[in-house]
């Protein structure tokens, strides 16, 4: 099937009632014996979020917002792909496919889609925005077999843009979205004018081991911290995704704790995840894992592709925006080893891993500045 079908969200009220019942019967562990987040998600922070989730959070608000943007589903390579599609009224708008990562979802882009499609400044660059949910994420289908790694997803996105009738387009992504977008760049499909990453992918070389460059030293330090203290989730999901999947699909508290830890560590905040994102924003994202029960299927992408990211070269025009609290900062020299035709590079003074979510205005400015050099 190659038809594009309208997708309207209307979660049965019974599912929301069942969730409320689970939140009313939590079996809490004892408080962590440390004062920081070094042992994981703090009990007080999670209890605060769950209390808000149970009493004040309104899923129907998020549901209405997604429906208002425009949701669609189309079958590609045997799998239903869900996507948001905001078509600009501007005749000169450039089609853009924008890809989220883990533990994100298409809700990362709710604060940027309208401005990208209908700029407040009539002279600013406009885009037709296509935001797909990765296979096994959100309301996309869950692969029943193996093989849905970043290269296959990249090929599916190329097919999606062709199916929508876009003959010239650009691609953007962060986290897994950066890996998929890099793979699109490696494919260099006809019509793709260039790519932009907000998680520039780069690895150190032998010459970097003795470097005194402050940017290289910072990147090496952050890489060491990630490997030692921040990568347990990826090791579990890339080796035994099914095992953690039972908890993520069955327990809303387990799912929220798994995601909230990364919101805390990966955003540019002053000590609390709520410094950067609201509880509504975080819960909107958690609900896109809870409602379609994608904790296991989303984790399997790590099993498919973790450790294979950034291999190969991209020769089409590419750009990158380096946000200061990125989990794995990569100096420009590292990035240019993969993006060999880097036409745009900018280092920003604020923002973290979830660039569009955390800094929507800066993010939109970065995309316009980058893609203006390509089209």
Place of tokens 């208002």: 68
Would residue 353 show up in a list of annotated catalytic residues for this protein? yes
Q: What percent of the chain has pLDDT over 90?
A: 93
pLDDT value of position 121: 96
Residue of 57, 289, 302, 344 marked active site = 302
Would residue 302 show up in a list of annotated catalytic residues for this protein? yes
pLDDT value of position 213: 87
- Give the pair of three-digit tokens for residue 363: 């993010």
pLDDT value of position 310: 64
Place of tokens 């009220």: 13
Residue of 82, 175, 196, 265 marked active site = 175
Place of tokens 């990035």: 335
Chain segment 10-57, per-residue pLDDT in tens: 999 999 999 999 999 999 999 999 999 999 999 999 999 999 999 999
Q: Is the pTM of this model over 0.95?
A: yes
Domain parsing of the chain, residue ranges = 4-371
Q: How large is the average pLDDT for residues 200-220?
A: 86
Would residue 80 show up in a list of annotated catalytic residues for this protein? no
Chain segment 328-364, per-residue pLDDT in tens: 999 999 999 999 999 999 999 999 999 999 999 999 9
Residue of 82, 85, 264, 353 marked active site = 353
pLDDT value of position 124: 98
Handedness of CA 373, 113, 306, 332 (dihedral sign): positive
Q: How far apart are CA 365 and CA 375, in angstroms?
A: 16
- Give the pair of three-digit tokens for residue 106: 């298409």
Place of tokens 């420009």: 332
310 Rama sector, left if φ>0, alpha if ψ -120 to 50, beta otherwise = left
Report, in angstroms and rounded to the nearest whole number, the Rg of the chain calculated over CA atoms: 20
CA-nearest of 277, 235, 11 to 139 is 11
Residue range 4-371, CATH number: 3.40.50.1820
What is the per-residue burial (b if ≥16 Cβ within 10 Å, else e) of 330-358? bbebbbbebbeebebbeebeebbbbbbbb
Q: How far apart are CA 375 and CA 370, in angstroms?
A: 9
Chain segment 253-307, per-residue pLDDT in tens: 999 999 999 999 999 999 999 999 999 999 999 999 999 999 999 999 999 998 7
Biggest CA–CA distance in the chain, Å, is 60
Residue 103, preceding peptide bond in cis (omega within 30° of 0): yes
In angstroms, the first-to-last Cα distance of the chain is 32
């Amino acid at each position: 099937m190659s038809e594009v079908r309208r997708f309207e969200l209307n979660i049965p009220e019974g599912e929301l009632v069942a969730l409320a019942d689970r939140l009313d019967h939590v079996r809490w562990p004892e408080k962590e014996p440390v004062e920081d987040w070094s042992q994981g998600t703090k009990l007080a922070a999670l209890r605060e979020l769950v209390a808000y989730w149970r009493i004040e959070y309104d899923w129907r608000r998020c549901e209405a917002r997604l429906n208002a943007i425009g949701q669609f589903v189309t079958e590609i390579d045997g799998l239903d792909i869900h996507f948001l599609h905001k078509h600009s009224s501007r005749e000169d708008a450039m089609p853009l496919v924008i890809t989220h990562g883990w533990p994100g979802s298409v809700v990362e882009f709710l604060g940027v889609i309208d401005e990208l499609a209908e700029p407040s400044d009539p002279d600013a660059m406009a885009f037709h925005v296509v935001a797909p949910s990765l296979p096994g994420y959100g309301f996309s289908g869950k692969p029943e077999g193996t093989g849905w790694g970043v290269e296959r997803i990249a090929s599916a996105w190329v097919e999606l843009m062709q199916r929508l009738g876009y003959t010239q387009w650009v691609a953007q992504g962060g986290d897994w979205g950066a890996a998929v977008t890099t793979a699109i760049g490696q494919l260099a499909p006809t019509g793709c004018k260039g790519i932009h990453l907000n998680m520039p992918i780069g690895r150190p070389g032998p010459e970097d081991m003795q470097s005194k460059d402050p940017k290289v030293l910072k990147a090496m330090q952050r890489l060491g911290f990630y490997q030692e203290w921040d990568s347990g989730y990826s090791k579990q999901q890339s080796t035994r995704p099914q095992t953690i999947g039972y908890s993520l699909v069955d327990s809303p508290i387990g799912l929220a704790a798994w995601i909230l830890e990364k919101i805390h560590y990966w955003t540019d905040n002053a000590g609390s995840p709520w410094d950067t994102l609201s509880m509504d924003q975080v819960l909107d994202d958690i609900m896109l894992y809870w409602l379609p029960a994608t904790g296991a299927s989303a984790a399997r992408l790590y099993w498919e592709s973790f450790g294979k990211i950034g291999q190969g070269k991209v020769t089409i025009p590419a750009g990158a925006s380096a946000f200061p609290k990125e989990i794995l900062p990569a100096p420009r020299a590292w990035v240019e080893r993969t993006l060999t035709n880097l036409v745009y590079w900018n280092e920003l003074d604020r923002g973290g891993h979830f660039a569009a979510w955390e800094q929507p205005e800066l993010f939109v400015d970065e995309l316009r500045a980058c893609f203006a050099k390509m089209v």
